[in-house]
């Protein structure tokens, strides 16, 4: 008998596209899938993310999962609070999309081509802090809304450009709207940007096994584990001005053999707008320790222990 799973998702076009990828993979594995749209406080509010609070896009999904109204929840991993939910288990981190940020600008301009004073929209303090630190003389303005709303402000002429996650545009089939994919040397993405988190109830062992065996990607899980461990040590919510990017890279061990290691870069903005940077490399099996080590280096450099609400 085929397992029947109710997958919970937000109702935005991006959330539905992401959930569709998960549903298709589980259907190929033999499951029957029903998609259930769950409205979240973040979807119902136009207030800045920093005012709404941690888990604004995820708490309703998690509550529906714990209440047995759905069997699986699909999240943009960067939206999840860093504290675990004891009712649930992270069953899978599927292969990650390109985690970089993308500029969508009028006339297909790149960041360096935008004239001084150009208005660039973003709802992320992390992006705003890094844009301002580049010293390009841009006017960074707050922005909320779905992808269509944000891109529409550029096409209407209200803004000169917006910065969005490249992964979201890829999942929506809108990569042709990108004028420049931003190098992480210019702008480190949000911890876990481009990754999905697939959760189920902690006691639902069969469902967890099906999801993990079908969807989980070891390298993606290791990378985002390191990034979020850094975020957690800084006590920063996912709207705080913190960026991180981990990559699985080839390295040589003491005997000259090629091994895979995890490289992590992190950035944190101080209240005065200074950008503090740190990096480290470690074993893929020690992702959490690596994340904490980079956070400690940032704290030693002068980063304040942050307290920011979720995106």
| pLDDT tens-digit series, residues 215-260 | 999 999 999 999 999 999 998 655 578 999 999 998 888 888 999 9
Each residue's pLDDT tens digit, 132-149: 999 999 999 999 888 999
Residues with active-site annotation: 79
DSSP H helices, 77-217, are 125-133, 147-155, 166-171, 205-215
Angle between helix 205-215 and 13-28 (nearest 10) = 100
Q: Kindly report the CA angle at 183 between 16 and 310, in degrees rounded to 5? A: 45
- Greatest mean pLDDT among 36-40, 106-110, 238-242: 106-110
- Among 283, 72, 96, 263, which residue's Cα sits nearest to residue 192? 96
Structure tokens at 237: 């919510």
Weakest mean pLDDT among 16-30, 46-60, 80-94: 46-60
pLDDT at 86: 97
- pTM for the predicted model, two decimal places: 0.89
Structure tokens at 163: 């910065």
The 3-state DSSP class for residue 231 equals: helix
Spatial separation of the C-alpha atoms in residues 161 and 121, rounded to whole Å:
6
């Amino acid at each position: 008998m085929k397992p029947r799973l109710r997958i919970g998702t937000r109702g935005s076009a991006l959330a539905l596209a992401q959930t569709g990828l998960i549903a298709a993979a589980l259907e190929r594995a033999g499951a029957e899938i029903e998609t259930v749209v769950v409205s979240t406080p973040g979807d119902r509010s136009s207030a800045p993310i920093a005012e709404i609070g941690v888990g604004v896009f995820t708490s309703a999904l998690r509550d529906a999962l714990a209440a047995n109204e759905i069997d699986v929840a699909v999240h943009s991993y960067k939206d999840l609070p860093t504290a675990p939910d004891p009712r649930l288990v992270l069953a899978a981190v599927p292969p990650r999309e390109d985690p970089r940020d993308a500029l969508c600008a009028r006339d297909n301009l790149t960041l360096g081509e935008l004239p001084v004073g150009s208005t660039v929209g973003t709802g992320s303090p992390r992006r705003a802090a890094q844009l301002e630190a580049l010293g390009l003389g841009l006017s960074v303005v707050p922005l909320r809304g779905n992808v269509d709303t944000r891109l529409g402000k550029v096409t209407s002429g209200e803004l000169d450009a917006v910065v969005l996650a490249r992964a979201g545009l890829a999942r929506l089939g809108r990569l042709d709207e990108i004028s420049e994919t931003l190098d992480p040397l210019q702008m480190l993405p949000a911890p876990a940007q481009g990754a999905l988190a697939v959760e189920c109830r902690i006691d639902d062992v069969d469902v967890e096994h099906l999801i993990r065996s079908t969807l989980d990607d070891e390298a993606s899980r290791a990378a985002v584990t390191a990034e979020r461990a850094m975020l957690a040590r800084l006590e920063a919510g996912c709207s705080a001005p913190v960026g991180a990017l981990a990559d699985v890279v080839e390295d040589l061990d003491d005997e000259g053999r090629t091994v895979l290691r995890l490289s992590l870069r992190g950035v944190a903005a101080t209240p005065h707008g200074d950008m503090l940077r740190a990096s480290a490399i470690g074993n893929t099996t020690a992702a959490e320790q690596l994340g904490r080590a980079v956070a400690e280096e940032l704290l030693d450099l002068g980063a304040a222990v942050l307290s920011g609400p979720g995106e």
